[in-house]
Structure 1
Amino acid sequence: MTEVDELKQAYETLGLPELAAKEEVEKRYTTLMRQARSRAQQKKADAGNAEDSFAKITQAYRLILEYEDRKLTDAFNEQEYGKYKKMAGQAQKMDHFWRYYRFHTLGAIAAVALIIYGVISFMNYREEQERLANLPPVDLSVSFMGNYMLKEDAPKEEPIEKALLTAFPEWKRFTSMLTFVPADQQAQYAYMQKAVLILATEHPDVYIMDRSIFEWVGTQGVLMNLDSDVNGELKPLMKDGLAQKLKTDEDTEEHVYGIDLSSSALVDQVPLYKESMIIGIRLDSKNPEKAKEFIKKYLATIK
């Protein structure tokens, strides 16, 4: 029996005209199955015939649906690939391949891109490490923390480091970090979180702070006690009000933890918008003597 004959017989089994609409086929199938179940319940002794009836109805229904689906697929393929004429089959295969494997392909492309990115990042890291290895050792590392912002006319590359080096031509290298914390207390919260993290993880030789940040950092126990310095080698340069005293959380007695350099002429060379600059030496500074030399030179320019 040919496919056409099988299809014709399927429509006859369902009691429908050929090429009836899909909705009619589904509705008719539901009706016939309900009737067949009803007859089976009434004639329980004739269960074998009922099963045959179910099977014939279901087989006819599936045959018609498969035909309808195939017809839709053929129409779609003709619309999509008919323009390729003799190459339609090849175009269809390529399209099916892409539809099926596109996520695999995109995943492979992403993996390759990730590998390339990793290789480039590693090479850049190696180059940066080599560059740093060839640099002279750091004379002093400085962390600026507070309501400070770079001036618009500041040099694009290492503006603060270059400005600091002008006052110390005998030194080879400064490193600096700038952490902005606004003066407005309501806007400080997010910035202070960053400042807390930097205070815990970074270890500069000195901090240069505005007054509010000094009053906070000074109580954290990270700054060096400068009592002996302001009463010793720095005493000839100290003027009234320059020594900044605080109590820490662990010591209720006031000590000098900072020196106000705001009025130093050298401060004007630093390309920052600032109101006050108080310097403190970190307790674990690697270059405490150079930090004190830095303070001494800045103090010498205060009139």
Structure 2
Amino acid sequence: MSDEVALARSFEGERPRLRSVAFRMLGSAAEADDAVQETWLRLSRTGGEEIDSLPAWLTTVVARVCLNMLRTRGTRGEAPLDDTLTEPADEAAGADPEHEAVLAESVGLAMLVVLDTLAPAERVAFVLHDMFAVPFEEIARMTERTPVAARQLASRARRRVRGAERAGREAEVARQRHLVEAFLAASRGGDLDALVAVLDPDVVLHADRAAGPTPEPVDVRGRQRVASGASAAAARVVFTEPALLDGTVGLVMAPAGRLRLVLAFTFAGGVISGIDVIADPERLRDVRIEVL
């Protein structure tokens, strides 16, 4: 067996882990594949000689590739949102949306959304240390910082991801989450009776002009009408999961980890009394999202 074939086999053994690292950093299956492929190209150019630990070397390289991609993404700006809220951002680029959904589910959509708000170095430090237990000494070399600075990067990111302590609110958050998850399940299943059961008789749904089918904001009142609309829109709740929105449980829709839309709920009397559907990019930027 040639050295080149042996090196390729060793790399293939590491590929799933490298793809997992890259996906958590980039939030996109297509970009993760690109980062892993670039890592292989760099390895093949070295011939694998003088590499003491191949897993550590590959982790370092894929992290640096991802860091450069994140910085480039920030420099060029995010691509504008398209008109279709249900189409994953990478579908047009040839990514498999079903596979993308599986990857997103393995990480958590809310986690991907919050990670997307972090600075590139913060995201790399948090993912490598908190998700893959990479020592800060190694992270420091990747990010060109001291170990103390790398630790601070991860700490800042951790506070953003987890949010402020919610001591004393656990029971209320749990009740809200139960209602929101019941709403989501009933919407996906088209179960009108279950939807009606979690809505206040006078519930009001407001959708901004970027979320609705019309160029003007939409207001719907009454649980039968709101339930019917939610059931009819069941196909649009893909890539959706609960998260904390400004401290209250709501829903985030985030194909490919890019926030497209949120449903902010208000609660009264043990049911949902209001739903604010937000898709306007400027309004979305003002929503503080935390992982449940």
Larger Rg: 1
TM normalised by structure 2 equals 0.23
